[in-house]
Amino acid sequence: MIMKRTLLSLIMLIPLSLMGQGRPAWLDQTTRNTQYPAQTYYTGIAYGSTSDGTDAIKRTMDNARADVLSTILTNMEHTAQSTAISHEFSTATGIDEEYTSTFSQQTRIEAVFKDVPDLRCEHYVDGSIITAFAYVRKNDLSNYYNKQIPALLTQIETILDNSELMVAQGQKIRAREMAKTAVEKMAALENAMRVMLAVDKNSTISTDKAMQLSKRLVRTLTMLKNGTSIYVACYNNIEGGHYPALCDNVKGRLSKLGINFVDFPTNADWTITIDTYLARKNEANDGNSFAWIDGKLTVTNSTGQTVYSEALSGMSTQYQNGIKGVHTHGLNEAIREAYKKTATIVSDKIIEIIQ
């Protein structure tokens, strides 16, 4: 009996603050507001239940982070400048949905909080109740975005310079890849500017440059809408005959790239000229027939500059006598085989040039 009284007395001597040890101080709203004052921090709180599945803690912490972003965006001044990039994309016409969808997805609030630096989150489980607390210091955000925004502007401008050059040279396939990267960077810039304007309404970051670049990007995407346009001309002289399938075979292989074929070279990004003839023929005693096709492949861009001009026999040492076809059913079939090979070889070279 004496021992029980002694133990009870000792428990009563333990400070109440120590009896709650293990519970984070931020669980108490008053303490939380004192330790993380609104003038210094953005904070978010979320609640969940362990009965909501194996990823319940992660979802609750994600909700706390999203609550921080919601607070930031709610405090943002909704001026024309702060939503300029999004407005440019939402009102633009003539752009592939692929690009507008990418921009929209990457500027959702879920995407924004993934890029916020030093956004910390803690959680505590009490029975089945999950509590998550997220917080970030305003100065950390301001310093980060003051560095990130100019860097993004420079990156986007460089990508657009290169992309516009590719468009001018008819290399729209490569330009489309660059444009996709520019859209992703533009979405990151929009996110950064939205947060920056919310954190620091007196920020000296100029939105004029961002607007100029977003307009340039929209123009580039519009030009890329219809893909690459090509005009193909084939001239085939086979002892006075003609082999029209060459042009069709070349177009068939190129069409897999989403290329548009036009009827006039003035409407084309690229003009392809294939001028061929029967260079040699031979019918052997063993029943095999041989034919060699030679000629010239010429590729011209939209500015009229010839970017490639080479004899078929000069494209590789294995074609130095021409592109060979072999068949057991006579010379005409051997010629067809030579032209099938020619279509493949010429198409591969064209693709290499225009991509």
The model's pLDDT over 11-46, given as tens digits with 9 standing for 90+, comes to 344 344 334 447 899 999 999 999 999 999 999 999
| pLDDT score, position 206 | 67
Judge whether 312 and 327 are in contact, CB under 8 Å: no
Do 241 and 111 fall into the same domain? no
Q: What percent of the chain has pLDDT over 70?
A: 84
Distance in angstroms (rounded) separating the CA atoms of residues 30 and 222: 54
| pLDDT score, position 311 | 92
pLDDT tens sequence across 202-258 = 666 667 888 888 888 888 888 777 778 889 988 887 764 556 678 888 888 888 777
Do 132 and 55 fall into the same domain? yes
Is 91 inside any structural domain?
Answer: yes
| pLDDT score, position 220 | 84
Judge whether 112 and 135 are in contact, CB under 8 Å: no
Do 82 and 153 fall into the same domain? yes
Is 294 inside any structural domain?
Answer: yes
For 139, the domain range is 24-227
| pLDDT score, position 76 | 59
Pairing assessment for the beta strands 306-311 and 260-261 based on DSSP bridges:
unpaired
Of the three residues 183, 207, 227, the one that is the final residue of a domain is 227
Locate the DSSP E strands across 146-269: 229-237, 260-261
Provide the CATH number for the domain around residue 323: 3.30.160.180
- The mean pLDDT of 108-128, rounded to a whole number, is 81
Of the three residues 169, 193, 227, the one that is the final residue of a domain is 227
Do 239 and 350 fall into the same domain? yes
- The mean pLDDT of 124-145, rounded to a whole number, is 91
| pLDDT score, position 6 | 46
- Please determine, for residue 282, whether its predicted confidence score (pLDDT) is greater than 50: yes
Is 42 inside any structural domain?
Answer: yes
Do 302 and 158 fall into the same domain? no
Band the pLDDT of 81: cuts 50, 70, 90. very low
CA-to-CA separations, 50 to 20, 47, 131, 133, in angstroms, rounded: 22, 10, 10, 16
Is 222 inside any structural domain?
Answer: yes
pLDDT tens sequence across 171-189 = 777 788 888 899 899 888 8
Q: Minimum mean pLDDT among 114-118, 311-315, 319-323, 345-349: which range?
A: 114-118
- Please determine, for residue 73, whether its predicted confidence score (pLDDT) is greater than 70: yes
Is 3 inside any structural domain?
Answer: no
- Give the 3-state secondary structure of residue 14: coil
| Nearest-5° Cα angle at 242, 237 to 246 | 95
Do 331 and 257 fall into the same domain? yes
| pLDDT score, position 109 | 67
Q: What's the total number of domains in the chain?
A: 2
| pLDDT score, position 137 | 92
Judge whether 290 and 326 are in contact, CB under 8 Å: yes
Q: Minimum mean pLDDT among 92-106, 171-185, 331-345: which range?
A: 92-106
| pLDDT score, position 129 | 94
Is 1 inside any structural domain?
Answer: no
Is 6 inside any structural domain?
Answer: no
- Kindly state the tokens that stand for 13: 């001597």
Is 198 inside any structural domain?
Answer: yes
Do 201 and 291 fall into the same domain? no
Do 193 and 320 fall into the same domain? no
Do 213 and 256 fall into the same domain? no
Locate the DSSP E strands across the chain: 41-49, 120-126, 129-137, 229-237, 260-261, 270-283, 289-301, 306-311, 323-327
Question: What are all long-range contacts of 94-98, with beta carbons under 8 Å and residues at least 24 apart?
Answer: 94/221, 94/222, 94/225, 95/218, 95/221, 95/222, 95/225, 96/221, 96/224, 96/225, 98/180
- Please determine, for residue 336, whether its predicted confidence score (pLDDT) is greater than 70: yes
- The mean pLDDT of 49-69, rounded to a whole number, is 90
- Please determine, for residue 334, whether its predicted confidence score (pLDDT) is greater than 50: yes
| pLDDT score, position 335 | 87
Do 336 and 233 fall into the same domain? yes
Average pLDDT of the chain is 81
Do 76 and 219 fall into the same domain? yes
Of the three residues 227, 258, 277, the one that is the final residue of a domain is 227
Do 284 and 219 fall into the same domain? no
Report which of residues 270 and 19 the model is more confident about.
Answer: 270
Judge whether 294 and 311 are in contact, CB under 8 Å: yes
